[in-house]
Amino acid sequence: MKQRLFVLLLLGAVVFACSKTETPSNTSEVYSPTPYNVAIPSWVSTFLSPMPTNPSNPLTVEGISLGRKLFYEPMLSDNQTQSCASCHLQTAGFTDTAAFSKGTNGAIGDRNAMQIINLAWSNYLFWDGRRTTLEAQAHDPVTNPIEMRNTWPVVVERLQKDPIYPGLFFKAFGTRTIDSNLVTKAIAQFERTLVSFNSRFDKYYFEGDTNALNAQEKRGLALFFGKADCNHCHSDVLLTDDALRNNGLDTRFTDRGRGKVTGLPTDDGKFKVPTLRNIAETAPYMHDSRFKTLEEVVNHYSDDVKTNSPNLDENMEIIAKGLRLSQQEKSDLVAFMKSLSDTEFLTNPNFKKPE
Ligand code: HEC
Ligand code: HEC
């Protein structure tokens, strides 16, 4: 009897709540987005500034959820076969396992798809840093002639006609009228939640769990921060200094990199220093995917740096003298890089394709 009364009361409350939210235009929607804070381990704040936010695009539960749906949405591409996630797979650290990603008509690009990890802290997006915000970046793949090959009016029309999307845009942004800026805002919100600080390296180095790394990985760590001087550029908590630099791959550049953006010959051969977080999952390596394995990458830094490469970065000074690592040291360094994988990030259900 008591139970039935409770159910009745509950029903009453629901009916009351619904009738209260009814508006004259006969829609039951209310725009009240829920502010969202990305959970970040507390030790991170000792080494890193708080996550930068975009004042014109604050994170909300509704915005992130919409952005996640859009990130996995094939309607964004011309023939509706490709989403952002086609080239940015969660299990591969949000990059592509192919050397060069295929666009919707099978055309192939000339750069390796990049990781989407901790990019809230990044001010340079793409290998050449040509975009400075995640919102601006997300505009590009949709209209790129060798990626999604679409136009924004077509995307907007499709989403607008969809039975579900207009309601989701209302919940996230207070309007049912969709435009490209709102689409990219939502995607950028989702991308800002893609934070990874939970590798075995983090547990050992920052959280003081001395058993989190084995002896070989500890030797590799010592090399990384010491003799091999890797953290000169792959630095701090993010394992990147978010700068554009030439790490001595070539003497002549088929891809000018940063130089193509600024037009300055002194920027030729400079590319974004990528994070090494989850690096074991993101092969192949470098902007042009020239290395298939981490062993090949280490061979480059140890033995093959082109010391006469124009604009060779000054942080390469120690490495350019010739590291000449032993086989054992090379394996140690590779073992260390494999400890940078964050299984929780790579399998986090909140980042998967929504049901
Ligand atoms: C056809 C494959 C493909 C698709 C589809 C694609 N990307 Fe990418 N993405 C790439 C490639 C390749 C690069 C590097 C391009 C360059 O540097 O010129 C990249 C770079 C990026 C970066 C820069 C990361 C960094 O560290 O600077 C972000 C962010 C990104 N993509 C997000 C997206 C989003 C959001 C979408 C969907 C709207 C998307 N991508 C669709 C292949 C793709
Ligand atoms: C001068 C700065 C600098 C130093 C020092 C440096 N790197 Fe790099 N690293 C870069 C840049 C820049 C790239 C991207 C270059 C490109 O694609 O053209 C890169 C790319 C990489 C990649 C491939 C990442 C990817 O996503 O494809 C790995 C792995 C790597 N470095 C490991 C190391 C190791 C190990 C060391 C120490 C032996 C080291 N780096 C030292 C600047 C540096």
Residue 266 burial (C-beta neighbours within 10 Å; 0-12, 13-18, 19+): exposed
Atom in ligand 2 nearest the alpha carbon of residue 323? 38
Q: What is the pLDDT of residue 27?
A: 56
φ/ψ (deg, to 5) at 108: -115, 135
* DSSP conformational letter for 163: S
User: What pTM did the predictor assign?
Assistant: 0.93
Distance 83 CA to ligand 1 centre (A): 11
Ligand number, closest to the Cα atom of 299? 2
Q: What is the pLDDT of residue 5?
A: 40
Q: Which two tokens stand for residue 187?
A: 């995607």
Which residue is closest in CA terms to ligand 1's atom 37? 84
Q: Is 335 helix (H, G, I), strand (E, B) or coil?
A: helix
Q: What is the pLDDT of residue 296?
A: 98
Report yes or no: 197 and 342 within 8 Å, Cβ to Cβ: yes
Report yes or no: 298 and 291 within 8 Å, Cβ to Cβ: no
Q: Which residues approach ligand 2 with their CB closer than 6 A?
A: 228-230, 232-234, 245, 247, 249, 271, 273-274, 276, 279, 282, 285-287, 294, 297-298, 301, 313, 315-316, 319, 333
Report yes or no: 288 and 103 within 8 Å, Cβ to Cβ: no
200-342 matches 25-195 in CATH topology = yes
* DSSP conformational letter for 245: E
Atom in ligand 2 nearest the alpha carbon of residue 286? 17
**How remote is the C-alpha of 233 from its chain's centroid?**
18
- CATH 3.40.50.300 for domain 200-342, yes or no, is no
CA-based nearest residue to 84, from 119, 58, 113, 56:
113
For residue 30, is it left (φ>0), alpha (ψ between -120 and 50) or beta? Answer: beta
Report yes or no: 169 and 181 within 8 Å, Cβ to Cβ: no
Provide the CB-side half-sphere exposure for 17 (13 A, CA).
8
Q: Is 35 helix (H, G, I), strand (E, B) or coil?
A: strand
Distance 74 CA to ligand 2 centre (A): 33
Report yes or no: 114 and 186 within 8 Å, Cβ to Cβ: no
Q: What is the dihedral of CA 69, 71, 73, 78, to 10 degrees?
A: 160
Q: Which two tokens stand for residue 26?
A: 């006969």
CATH hierarchy code of domain 25-195: 1.10.760.10
Query: Domain residue spans in the chain?
Result: 25-195, 200-342
CA-based nearest residue to 81, from 106, 99, 63, 58:
106
One digit per residue, the tens of pLDDT, for the chain of length 355 reads 344 444 444 444 443 444 333 334 445 678 999 999 999 999 999 999 999 999 999 999 999 999 999 999 999 999 999 999 999 999 999 999 888 988 888 989 999 999 999 999 999 999 999 999 999 999 999 999 999 999 999 999 999 999 999 999 999 999 999 999 999 999 999 999 999 999 999 999 999 999 999 999 999 999 999 999 999 999 989 999 999 999 999 999 999 999 999 999 999 999 999 999 999 999 999 999 999 999 999 999 999 999 999 999 999 999 999 999 999 999 999 999 999 999 999 999 999 999 9
Distance 243 CA to ligand 1 centre (A): 18
Distance 281 CA to ligand 1 centre (A): 17
